[in-house]
Amino acid sequence: MQEDENGFQHPVAFASRKLGPTEIKYSVCEKEALGILFAITHFKNYLYGSEFVVYCDQQSLSKIKTQKDPTFRIARWFLTLQEYTYKIIRKPGRLNFMAYYLSRAKYPKEDSDNDKEIHEVHAVDADCTEFKFKLCSVPTEE
């Protein structure tokens, strides 16, 4: 998120991925922690060396750095993130409306072919109104 001159925060970029078969079975807290790990490592070129804030709606994750006995999986993930300078702040889903909306949006089912090209782009405006754009192929000269 980036703050404008009026103090309003706007998203700069989004990233997501599909959970694997084992990850689907993780607890809600572990899924949130996995999301944090994914996001920070995905945007590492922008985040490394800067202080930043991670907002999540899991109370337990906001206290992960002081928790005495986190699960081994979560502890391992947060050890990976020790090279970053960040704070985790709890922000309930109803107040973090963009993340709340995107985590519940319905997307078309994917084919099992991992090399499938993306033919649609889903965009969301600040009011969480979803737009869908069809991509067209651009002819190339040969």
In the chain, the N- to C-terminal Cα span, in Å, equals 42
Say whether pLDDT at 14 is over 70. Answer: yes
Q: Please give the pLDDT value at position 84.
A: 95
The arithmetic mean of pLDDT across residues 111-133, rounded, is 51
Residue with the bigger pLDDT between 34 and 92: it is 34
Q: Residue 140's pLDDT band (boundaries 50, 70, 90)?
A: low
Lowest-confidence region among 15-24, 67-76, 112-121:
112-121
Are the C-beta atoms of residues 121 and 135 closer than 8 Å to each other?
yes
Q: Please give the pLDDT value at position 91.
A: 84
CA-CA distance, 53 to 85, in Å (whole number)?
9
Of 11, 15, 2, 13, nearest in space to 98 by CA: 11
CA-CA distance, 93 to 110, in Å (whole number)?
26
CA-CA distance, 23 to 120, in Å (whole number)?
26
Of 2, 21, 18, nearest in space to 10 by CA: 2
Residue pLDDT, tens place only, 38-97: 999 999 999 999 999 998 887 777 777 777 788 899 889 989 999 999 998 888 877 777
The arithmetic mean of pLDDT across residues 4-26, rounded, is 88
Q: How many percent of the chain have pLDDT more than 90?
A: 29
* CB-CB neighbours of 40 under 10 Å: 20
Q: Please give the pLDDT value at position 110.
A: 60
CA-CA distance, 99 to 135, in Å (whole number)?
25
**Could you tell me the two tokens for 56?**
């999540």
CA-CA distance, 17 to 120, in Å (whole number)?
16
The arithmetic mean of pLDDT across residues 104-125, rounded, is 55
